[in-house]
Amino acid sequence: MPCIAIQNIVEKIAAGERPAATLEELTECGSGLIRIGAKIRQTITVIIIDGREFFENDFDWVAWIDASFEPSNHSDRCHLIDVGKMLVGLRDEGSCITIQCYRDIFSLDFFKLLPLCRIAKHRSLAEVPAFLSHTKGYATMNRQAFRKAVSAWLGEEPDAAEELPLLPGFEDALNVFTGIDSAALCQAVRDPERSVRSMRAGLGLLGASIAYELEQERPDVLQLQTLRTAMLESAREIEDRLAEFGEQ
């Protein structure tokens, strides 16, 4: 079925109208949407990375990402960038192995692509296809099993990434906050006490994250560039606000 026909059916259904289509057309449309839906998020990540060349700086690029694809928060945007960077890297490497790897992982659940980014970041892009070859049944693994397989490949202690002895519950808390929409966070932090506590906690986490990245032998340059852009923009906003009170 042509894309225009699928789009017509979808628009009529969305508008509350009955589409004038046969059973075969409805079936093909529904099946096509399922196939496309499984690859939408991955496709967006590649578009994001390919789109970088059209912008002179990271700030405008990040603004385009937020306006065009509406990531739920900063963490979601970073995830899109990380996965896109890995996929585009595999694609542009151009070897038979990396191209096949790209095709193999493109339709994986997004929660599996994120741990694969850790291998590309902390080891090398070439180790991603090596990991997949070594890990039998990876396509049917659940989230926990896949994360453990990646941790084992990276030589981490069992469950090291799941729980920190000195910070019980840290991983769960982190998962909760990284999944919250930015607008919801702004709504929640609307009194002086919460503002101060949130700032202290945020600065602590941010400082720890920056320190970790800077200590790496191969830091995530794109992540640091994105962070720098966001921090510079926030600094400009703070300076403008302070200037209203005659402060430097």
In this structure, which amino acid lies at residue 234? S
Q: Is the torsion defined by CA of 139, 143, 148, 153 positive or negative?
A: positive
pLDDT in tens, 174-206: 777 776 777 777 888 888 888 888 888 888 888
In this structure, which amino acid lies at residue 219? P
Nearby residues of 215 by Cβ (< 8 Å), 6 or more positions away:
none
What pLDDT shows up at residue 1? Answer: 66
Between 155 and 222, the more confident residue is: 155
Residue 150 in contact with residue 116, Cβ under 8 Å?
yes
How many Å apart are CA 94 and CA 100, to the nearest integer? 10
How many Å apart are CA 232 and CA 213, to the nearest integer? 18
Is the pLDDT score of 137 beyond 80?
A: yes
pTM of the model: 0.63
Between 152 and 220, the more confident residue is: 152
- pLDDT (mean) for 26-45: 85
Is the pLDDT score of 109 beyond 70?
A: yes
Structure tokens at 155: 């030589």
Between the alpha carbon of residue 76 and those of residues 82, 171, 240, the distances in Å are 10, 16, 28
Between 66 and 169, the more confident residue is: 66
Is the pLDDT score of 101 beyond 90?
A: yes
pLDDT in tens, 17-27: 898 888 988 99
- pLDDT (mean) for 39-61: 91
Between 223 and 147, the more confident residue is: 147
What pLDDT shows up at residue 92? Answer: 93
- pLDDT confidence band for 159 (50 / 70 / 90): low
- pLDDT (mean) for 121-125: 88
- pLDDT confidence band for 161 (50 / 70 / 90): very low
Q: How far is CA 229 from the centre of its chain?
A: 17
Q: Is the torsion defined by CA of 70, 144, 82, 86 positive or negative?
A: negative
- pLDDT confidence band for 53 (50 / 70 / 90): very high
Is the pLDDT score of 219 beyond 80?
A: no
- pLDDT (mean) for 69-73: 83
